[in-house]
Amino acid sequence: MLLRHAPDLSEREVTPRDLYVNRRQILAGFGGLMIAGAGNVQAAVKSPFSTQETPTSLKDITSYNNFYEFGTDKSDPARNAGRLTVKPWKVKIDGMVGKPGDYDLDDILKGMTIEERIYRMRCVEGWSMVIPWNGFPLASLLTRVEPLSGAKYVAFETLVRPSEMPGQAGLFKILDWPYVEGLRLDEAMHPLTLLATGLYGENLPNQNGAPLRLVVPWKYGFKGIKSIVRISLTDKEPRTSWNIQAPQEYGFYSNVNPAVDHPRWSQATERRIGDTGGLFAKRRPTLPFNGYADQVAGLYTGMDLRKFY
């Protein structure tokens, strides 16, 4: 099977969305799908959490991105990320785990079942996409490295490589590098929390966080840390990049909550990328927990979600 990296595809070569979905359904009928992940072809199963909403086009998903390591304009990542070297790739796993070490991503993926999921990803600017991610539950990796009993949080760190990430090399620093993020351990172990290795059945494009990124579909998009090189378990709440940059605007939890406005804009509605009308398309109501309240609201029972934003 020939599986090419998405940036190597011309627009005319990208499978139309309807044909892609039909082809996937046919293949699924033969007992399983084969998905590329960091250069490996692995068996895939469809996640029970997948939405039935129409996926956003591959072109939009790979050309409208937030990845400040490659620039602040939405088109900068697609323009600048091609120089990033993603193989070989190692992930340091340390802190409160029984099996710390520097793990090669190919070794992590060996024997890992890749799940097909379609997640509604939204972020604070009020735009959203429906992205057919391929990846595996973060819980599968954490279980393998054996969290210690005192671990309460999981911290993540992005690659720092200014020679290939021009946004890190500029004189004007948008953020302190490396980009860092974190989850509570129970959030990290939830079956909805994914480490993505691809989308639309292809290896993850560089501008979307290759070769390994976090997907937490009930949180805003900036929680989805990209190009992960370190995962640490700790008993203390880790610092997160946007909370460091603007703590009055970005909290640790960053759950989708339409009832709590960002200080500079309303979060009650959103614009779906790809909808007819572009910037003038009718906005839609933002759903609590991005539509996953039935699955995750119990994680926050008794918490004031205006205080813990």
- Residue of 210 and 46 predicted with greater confidence: 210
- Cβ neighbourhood burial of 62 (10 Å; 0-12, 13-18, 19+): buried
Residue pair 203/197 in contact (Cβ under 8 Å)? The answer is: yes
Q: Which residue pairs, CB below 8 angstroms and at least 24 apart, start in 27-35?
A: 33/116, 33/201, 34/1, 35/114, 35/116, 35/134, 35/198, 35/201
* Residue 27, pLDDT score: 31
Question: Is 29 a residue whose pLDDT tops 70?
Answer: no
Give the chain's mean pLDDT.
86
* Residue 3, pLDDT score: 23
> How far apart are alpha carbons 232 and 229 in whole angstroms?
10
CATH class entry, domain 6-297: alpha beta
Q: Is 158 annotated as a binding residue?
A: yes
Q: Is 153 annotated as a binding residue?
A: no
> How far apart are alpha carbons 211 and 202 in whole angstroms?
11
> How far apart are alpha carbons 65 and 73 in whole angstroms?
8
The three-state secondary structure class of 19 is helix
> How far apart are alpha carbons 225 and 91 in whole angstroms?
14
> How far apart are alpha carbons 103 and 92 in whole angstroms?
6
Q: Is 225 annotated as a binding residue?
A: yes
Q: Is 264 annotated as a binding residue?
A: no
Residue pair 269/287 in contact (Cβ under 8 Å)? The answer is: no
Longest Cα–Cα distance in the chain: 54
Q: Considering only CA atoms, which of 251, 254, 198 is closest in space to residue 221? A: 254
pLDDT digits (tens, 9 = 90+) for 252-295: 999 999 999 989 989 999 999 988 887 778 899 999 999 999 99
Question: Is 23 a residue whose pLDDT tops 60?
Answer: no
Residue pair 231/213 in contact (Cβ under 8 Å)? The answer is: no
Q: Is 68 annotated as a binding residue?
A: yes
* Residue 30, pLDDT score: 25
- Residue of 67 and 7 predicted with greater confidence: 67
pLDDT digits (tens, 9 = 90+) for 94-151: 999 999 999 999 999 998 888 888 888 766 456 899 999 999 999 999 999 999 999 9
> How far apart are alpha carbons 171 and 152 in whole angstroms?
37
pTM of the model: 0.86
Q: Is 61 annotated as a binding residue?
A: no
43 — pLDDT class (breaks 50, 70, 90): low
Kindly state the tokens that stand for 303.
């918490």
Q: Is 123 annotated as a binding residue?
A: yes
Question: Is 215 a residue whose pLDDT tops 90?
Answer: yes
Contacts of 174 by beta carbon, 8 Å cutoff, 6+ apart: 68, 72, 167
Amino acid type, 277: G
* Arithmetic mean of pLDDT, 34-50: 61
Q: What DSSP state is assigned to residue 86?
A: -
Q: Is 85 annotated as a binding residue?
A: no
* Arithmetic mean of pLDDT, 231-242: 98
* Residue 179, pLDDT score: 98
* Residue 281, pLDDT score: 81
> How far apart are alpha carbons 45 and 112 in whole angstroms?
11
Rounded alpha-carbon distances, angstroms, from residue 21 to 49, 52, 61, 123: 17, 11, 16, 25
